[in-house]
A and B are shown apart, each in its own frame.
Chain A
Amino acid sequence: MDYVQITPKQRDEMLRAVGATGIDDLLRPLFGNEPRQAPRPLNLPPSLDEMSLRAHVSAIAGKNSTGREKSCFLGGGAYDHFIPAVVDALANKAEFLTAYSPYQPEASQGALQAFFEWQTMLCRLTGMEVASVSLYDGAHAVSEAAILALNATGKHEIIVSEGVHPHYRAVLKARLADMPGVRYTEIPLKDGVIDTMEMEGELDEDTAAVICQSPNFLGEVERVETIAKFARANESLMVQVFNPLSLGLLKHPGEMDVDVAVGEGQSLGIPLSYGGPYLGLLAAKAKYVRKVPGHIVGQTVDAAGNRAFCLTLQAREQHVRRERANSNVSTNEGLLALRAAIYLAALGPAGLREVAQTCHNKAAYLVKQLAARGIRRRHPTRPFFNEVLVKLTEPVHAALARASDAGILAGYAVGEHYPEFADCLMIAVTERRTKKEIDALVEVLAAGAPAGAAS
């Protein structure tokens, strides 16, 4: 099925209308105005009819072993949250799905208004003053924030906490590589959070920004206000990588004098989807608006004086500014921004708080139950959200294997990125995990702890 609606008879009519004897007449310049050679057959599998296609692709999907079949305690930047049916019902509507980017405002008011509402929600969530519609994902948002800081300050160094998601740091490093004069400095962790003394030592007059994640990759909550004070004193931008759902409970970036708040919106109603497409979030203080990348929707009026919306401040963007644009981003994650807006509107402030609190309650319950069996958090006194880092007395891979056999995805072995925590397992607990599932996880992990361990 190729979805062509032109019939062979119409094809002949149309060829005649354009003065062609065959389609090759229209393709001459592609072949350098030489006679077209017999096309080399493409070595591709033959087309499948719909019934066969559905069977084929379902069979492929069936080879995955998902969190549907297993209890998912994996986090690390992607979380198994509950998505109400109304979110799917609205976000999957064909009108949202098959619309183009809203460059022609009179034909796009529905999308523009939804994005304007989303920008408002994102600003309220983060305590920031301006936001763009979307970036590719959390990693992209972090990279764009770094570029924003370099452009806004004219300075050349980006300081990044090791608590920022390892993949985001890798993407940022790739983005800054080979930029003349730009320095990328990582600050190690101390007791699971950014080593502020090291950071202080690295801050200098050429530091454009400090980028810190809170809750950080390990689930530990950082002292963002303190870090922001250091950045402010040094005339550097404070960039926080935030977790949007955590803001149902935790102080938001605006309360902590953050300049640019970036994050991953996957936990706002977006399915796990094997890592993508996800949703990059970027919000900032008003003074940085002209440096913000991506689409921004503004409110205005139409010729009759009625309220209307349109993309605005487009001089920042590639289609106007070309090589002098803030960013090359064009197609972004519009539909997922819509989905996140619908999710937040569905939850409302009370729902958001409830979900965040439930995630915290369940994570705290896990911590308590594990502690009773001798398995403790690596940093027992530090506040956490959604994810906990626990120290195991057996090799982490052995625990993971045993859990997998019991139908549990027990968590993430952070040793791959944090050698000092090679004996630790990072466990995410969302509102979807029942007490029964948590108890089962505890049993599985306890089976690997020495009996009667008290330390």
Chain B
Amino acid sequence: MTSHPEHLIFEISTPGARAVDTPPCDVPYSEIDPSIASFVETELPEVGQLDLVRHYTRLTNRLFCVDTNFYPLGSCTMKYNPKVSERLARHSGWEWLHPLQSDNDCQGSLALLFSLRTMLQEMAGLPEVSLHPAAGAHGQWAVLRMVMAYLQDRGQPHRRTVLVADNAHGTNPASATSAGATVVTVRSTPDGLLDLDHLKQCLGEHDVAALMIAQPNCAGKFDPNFRKIVDAVHDAGAMVYLDGANLNAMLGLARAGDLGVDAMHFGTHLSLGTPHGCGGPGAGPIAVCDALAPYLPVPQVVERGGRYAWDYDRPKSIGRIHGFFGQFTVLVRAYTYLRSLGPDGLRHVSETAVLCANYLAQRIRDVYPLPYGPPPGQPMATDPCAHGFVALPKHLHDAGVSTMDVAKALIDRGYHPPTVHWPLPDSLTIEPTETESKHTLDAFADALLSIADQSAKDPAVLKEAPHNAPVRRVDEIAAARNPVLVWKPSTP
């Protein structure tokens, strides 16, 4: 990355500069009604094409990305984004397809969506999938709305509480509130598993609609009591929702439906390898049981005698949840990824993801203790992690080096930091994924160990990290205290 200060595009603007021409007008000019016209020109940047290209290209040099850097972000599954998926997602056959064209014109797109729907149903072990949700959070909200609608129809509208694990991703409780539910948090045990007793207590004390849970969970553990959890929730008349954030450890090995899950979402930009794009677009397809299927969003892609169509005849549907049909070209990438893997590939992905996480954990755990790992001296296999693991750099804290200091020191060494401060304060949650080479895993472990060394010898360097990034440590507190959210010519 380069560290020269970078001008804002407004600062390199020159009045009259043009980057592109525009399509010619081969018809007469027509004046717009003056009563609705603006006489103020929008103050957009004015740059020539070379400066435009340099500006954005230089910005790409001030950015980590999977194509250049390892991103061991727990519960983000930053695996490789295949180039063949990019090529196929940009096919003119869908780039130019208008969503309001007749189903007749769209048989290719509809066929792909139907195939993807079928594959995800098989992978989920659940009878019906909707591909509409634009992200995992969107899928979570949609499913909870469906659960509420279902319970209403069953004469149980009083069930408005959703249980959320204390180490669940923030989207879980936020989606529950958006769906009109009250959130109650279920504790974890010191082993990082869901506290079954507390779960049963919560189920007894509240009118519960659903439990939101991940398997493996966000502490990096496969919960061996998953079946018991499911049974307890079902016995209380509620449903189990699986947050698919950590599916990378389970694809091809176990199916949510077989575990008793009633509904779940897939994060295509997580386990299905679609690119993150600096914050989207992703997609969050949902899979549901028979009881919930009638409530799925409209429209649904169906097949009738070899022809594909959108079906709107779903009287119990919660309605439309997207302007059109969801994140179509993202779903193309998910489809191509799954066709590239096949069923054996899925299993290999999950097995390798788990192996890589355990290997990395083993390499660093003497220096970065694992609160949910085996006792010191026992190998990882005695109490393995799943897709990732939680580490608490206690020894470094004793030297006055914070977890955030470790994160910023990793940036200096060319690694995007792991997830910090969640699910535990001061924790690092590390998920390598299966696409990294052993070289990278070992080098990352070495980097973490060298940071630990440095904390003993020269902690000040770590406390002031990063030193090699385009900027030094950013004052986020000042940003929130005095928000400057747009550029003004007077802004320094």
Contact = CB atoms under 8 A, between A and B. Distances in A.
Interface stretch (B97-105, B196-204, B286-294, B450-458): B97-105
Interface centre among B8, B23, B249 (most CB of A within 10 A): B23
Contacts of A119: 485-486
Contacts of A191: none
Given A117-B10, A334-B279, 11 more contacts: A4-B352, A18-B359, A29-B384, A63-B111, A64-B105, A117-B8, A272-B98, A274-B324, A277-B283, A296-B483, A303-B472
Given A249-B32, A289-B485, A64 B354 contact: no
Contacts of A353: 41
Contacts of B407: 104
B340 A335 contact: no
Interface residues of A, number: 198
B349 A330 contact: no
B176 A323 contact: yes
Given A90-B56, A98-B276, A350 B476 contact: no
Contact of A137 (B27, B73, B323): B323
8 contacts: A20-B358, A65-B101, A66-B98, A86-B52, A110-B63, A139-B323, A174-B319, A350-B46
B65 to A, nearest CB: 4
Contact of A42 (B61, B297, B346): B346
Contacts of B399: none
Nearest to B487: A120
Given A4-B348, A335-B277, A358-B23, A137 B98 contact: no
Interface stretch (B177-185, B233-241, B390-398): B177-185
A367 to B, nearest CB: 9
A89 B62 contact: no
A160 to B, nearest CB: 14
B43 A124 contact: yes
B138 to A, nearest CB: 7
Count class of interface residues, chain B: 35 or more
B343 interface: yes
A333 B280 contact: yes
B107 interface: yes
B336 interface: yes
A309 B6 CA distance: 11
B380 A113 contact: no
Interface in A242-260: 247-252, 255
A365 interface: yes
A349 B46 contact: yes
A455 interface: no
Contact of B107 (A63, A331, A412): A63
Contacts of B345: 1-2, 47
Nearest to B49: A86
A332 interface: yes
A320 B174 CA distance: 10
A313 B480 contact: yes
A245 to B, nearest CB: 11
B94 to A, nearest CB: 5
Contacts of B258: 40
B159 to A, nearest CB: 12
Contacts of B123: 42, 44
Contacts of A156: none
Interface string B367-407: 00000000000111110101000000000000000000001
A106 B53 contact: no
A190 interface: no
A171 B349 contact: no
B158 interface: no
Interface in B232-263: 249-250, 252-254, 258
Given A355-B22, A360-B32, A137 B38 contact: no
Nearest to A31: B254
